[in-house]
Amino acid sequence: MSSSTLSATAMSESFVDQRERWLLAPYAMFSRDSAGRRRPEPSHAYRGPFQRDRDRILHSSAYRRLSGKMQVFTGEMGDYHRTRLTHTQEVATIARTIGRVLRLNEDLIEALALMHDIGHPPYGHCGEDALAEVMEPFGGFSHNRFALTIVEEMEYRYHRQPGLNLTAEVLAGQADRTDKSNAARPSLLEVQLVDAADSTAYDAHDTDDAIKLGLVTLEQLQQVPLIARCVESVRESYADLSERFLNKAVVHHLVNLQVTDMIEYCARELEQRQFASADAAMQSDFRIGPSPELAEQKRELERFLFQNVYRHPRLISVRQLAHEKIQTLWRIYVEDPSRLPKKYQLRAERIGVQQMAAHYIAGMTDRFFEDTHRLMVQSR
């Protein structure tokens, strides 16, 4: 190889690789080390592979439908609270903030965050439980696994082949979520971070929504030491806050406290451990998350939310009804597959009508589900 070819090679480092070389820590996942896509594609001039994955997810119809899916609280309860789309954006923002300080790959983080909940059926976890129950003899149902089915089989971006043709790392990251019970399965730090940011976001926003909807008061919440600590800090900073602003300030503080704790704890650990590569970090026993002290305080808050919010009578009654309706609609399709839309009838022949019915329902927004259920039950 002549010297002119060598310098040409050095010069040809892509914009993305150069930028990552400047910005990322050695333990981050670099685009240049990606295992690539199932169907190879030429690289893009200025968008790296994970950025392209992020964009593909952002432009998918499953992603847009997140705006019509509940997080914890349904549409009848007003429109202040989070939907699954705004939850997803909060997770992405929190994860990117932390990822930037820890010098991880923000494009990969964002792709994983935008994807993490796209497999959620209507009516949140209740929808998932209803489908998992009827699907038990047919391979079960998990929203995390369904997210992979969506991006690999159900979204159409290319006219000849189904799926978004995402990178191996984004697909593996979502697969890690599906198989959380397997602690031995190592995940990239970016994957671990999105999981930790998910918990940061919902602990804070479920607290906020629950206060706003009047399911609990800030006073009751102060039984939880973490919330008491937030109230105390806010009162120290602002002596004359009205109740309304106190609630807001406490929730902001709850996000900030969790994010700061995670950054400080992880930065300290990463500094000590000096991982030389993404793989070394993955294979170690280090996990991105809150400090052990804050993790314990978060568990106390989650226990409180579980008892007093997620199992609140106003939510339980909505859930029971949704549970029944979802199973009814599933049975209608299974008994008569010709009631499925044409394109899904073909897929049902291939994957079985039970799975197809579950997939079709899982893709619906809450409102589309309600309309379809009403129509199908009336015309039965």
Q: Footprint of Mg ion on this chain (CB under 5 A)? A: 117, 198
Query: For residue 167, what are the β-bridge partners?
Result: 37
Please state the separation of Cα 53 from the chain's center in Å: 15
DSSP 150: I
Of 170, 192, 161, 66, nearest to 119 (Cα)?
66
- Would you state the structure tokens that stand for residue 217, as one six-digit string? 């008061």
**In whole angstroms, what is the distance from residue 170 CA to residue 371 CA?**
34
Cβ proximity to Mg ion: between 191 and 357 the closer is 191
CB of residue 351 to Mg ion, shortest distance in Å: 26
Query: For residue 37, what are the β-bridge partners?
Result: 167
CB of residue 191 to Mg ion, shortest distance in Å: 14
CB of residue 307 to Mg ion, shortest distance in Å: 21
Please state the separation of Cα 146 from the chain's center in Å: 13
Cβ proximity to Mg ion: between 106 and 198 the closer is 198
**In whole angstroms, what is the distance from residue 28 CA to residue 281 CA?**
9
184, amino acid identity: A
CB of residue 356 to Mg ion, shortest distance in Å: 25
Cβ proximity to Mg ion: between 126 and 353 the closer is 126
Q: Which helix (H) or strand (E) holds 9?
A: helix 3-11
CB of residue 59 to Mg ion, shortest distance in Å: 20
3-class secondary structure, 188: coil
CB of residue 314 to Mg ion, shortest distance in Å: 22
Cβ proximity to Mg ion: between 288 and 348 the closer is 288
Please state the separation of Cα 255 from the chain's center in Å: 17
Cβ proximity to Mg ion: between 259 and 357 the closer is 259
Cβ proximity to Mg ion: between 194 and 357 the closer is 194
Cβ proximity to Mg ion: between 202 and 330 the closer is 202
**In whole angstroms, what is the distance from residue 43 CA to residue 46 CA?**
9
Residue appearing with tokens 């970016």? 190
CB of residue 119 to Mg ion, shortest distance in Å: 11
Residue 155, phi-psi category: left (phi > 0), alpha (psi -120 to 50), beta (remainder):
beta
CB of residue 116 to Mg ion, shortest distance in Å: 5
Cβ proximity to Mg ion: between 194 and 278 the closer is 194
Q: What is the largest CA-CA distance in the chain?
A: 77
CB of residue 113 to Mg ion, shortest distance in Å: 9
Residue appearing with tokens 């039965």? 380
30, amino acid identity: F
DSSP 136: G
- What Cα–Cα distance (Å) separates residue 226 from each residue in 39, 254, 346? 48, 8, 52
Residue appearing with tokens 């923002």? 93
Say if CB 278 and CB 30 are below 8 A apart.
yes
Cβ proximity to Mg ion: between 117 and 169 the closer is 117
CB of residue 117 to Mg ion, shortest distance in Å: 4
Cβ proximity to Mg ion: between 198 and 261 the closer is 198
